[in-house]
């Protein structure tokens, strides 16, 4: 089983990447978040890999972060979700928003992802709400610990945004503005508000 792959990036498209590792070209299916994080063609890339074996093929799925890979591996355990649909789900929302939506069983938010109907969105929340806890730091439930305080919340939110590929100045400015405007008392709310500002 291949768990990680490093080499020269030969090709990249929104749904896949081709990496040359020691003279062998490996084709990996990737979510949009990973595609956005890939370097320029010709540069070295390193991806976390999930190897999917079936009767007629061995498929490789590549991820920029361990968090993306962890959520993918939980998604494919849900009835009705194969690896390709799991990539669609991963590509449909920023990782912190997706984790929060699943943990909160927000079927309306989840069903906004192309290919995810109401029943599948409900099943995602039902089967994974307890399994996504901790994938993104601080998204375990609705409130942050009292000891963490506002500074701890902001730090966790900035860290989550950095994992998504935002630059630190962008992330810090968005979190600060979201915190001042909304006074969010928990990480999911703060992350959602910051992401809305970054997407404007």
CATH number for the domain including 24? 2.40.50.140
- The total number of structural domains in the chain stands at 3
Q: Is 21 left (phi over 0), alpha (psi -120 to 50) or beta?
A: beta
Q: How far is CA 145 from the centre of its chain?
A: 24
Claim: this prediction has a pTM higher than 0.85: no
Is the separation of the CB atoms in 178 and 197 below 8 Å? yes
Domain residues for the domain of 167 are: 149-198
Per-residue pLDDT in tens (0 to 9) along the chain, 200 residues = 788 999 999 999 989 999 999 999 999 999 988 998 899 999 999 999 999 988 888 899 999 999 999 999 999 999 889 999 999 999 888 888 898 889 888 899 899 888 899 999 999 999 998 888 778 655 444 333 333 345 667 777 777 777 666 788 888 888 888 887 766 556 666 777 777 777 66
Structural domain includes residue 143: no
Cβ proximity of 70 and 102 under 8 Å = no
Total count of residues recorded for the chain = 200
Query: What distance in Å separates the CA atoms of residue 88 and residue 188, rounded to the nearest whole number?
Result: 22
Same domain flag for 75 and 55: no
């Amino acid at each position: 089983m291949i768990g990680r792959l490093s080499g020269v990036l030969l090709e990249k498209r929104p749904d896949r990447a081709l990496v040359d590792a020691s003279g062998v070209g490996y084709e990996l299916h990737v979510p949009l978040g990973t595609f956005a994080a890939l370097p320029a063609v010709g540069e070295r890339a390193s991806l976390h890999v999930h190897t999917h074996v079936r009767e007629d093929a061995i498929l490789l799925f590549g991820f920029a972060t361990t968090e993306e890979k962890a959520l993918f591996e939980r998604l494919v355990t849900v009835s009705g979700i194969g690896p390709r649909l799991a990539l669609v789900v991963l590509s449909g929302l920023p990782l912190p928003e997706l984790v929060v939506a699943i943990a909160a069983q927000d079927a309306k938010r989840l069903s906004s992802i192309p290919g995810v109907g109401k029943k599948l969105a409900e099943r995602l929340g039902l089967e994974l709400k307890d399994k996504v806890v901790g994938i993104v730091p601080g998204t375990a439930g609705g409130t942050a610990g009292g000891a963490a305080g506002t500074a701890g919340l902001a730090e966790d939110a900035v860290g989550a945004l950095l994992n998504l590929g935002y630059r630190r100045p962008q992330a810090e400015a968005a979190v600060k503005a979201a915190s001042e405007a909304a006074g969010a008392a928990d990480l999911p709310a703060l992350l959602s508000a910051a992401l809305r500002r970054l997407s404007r």
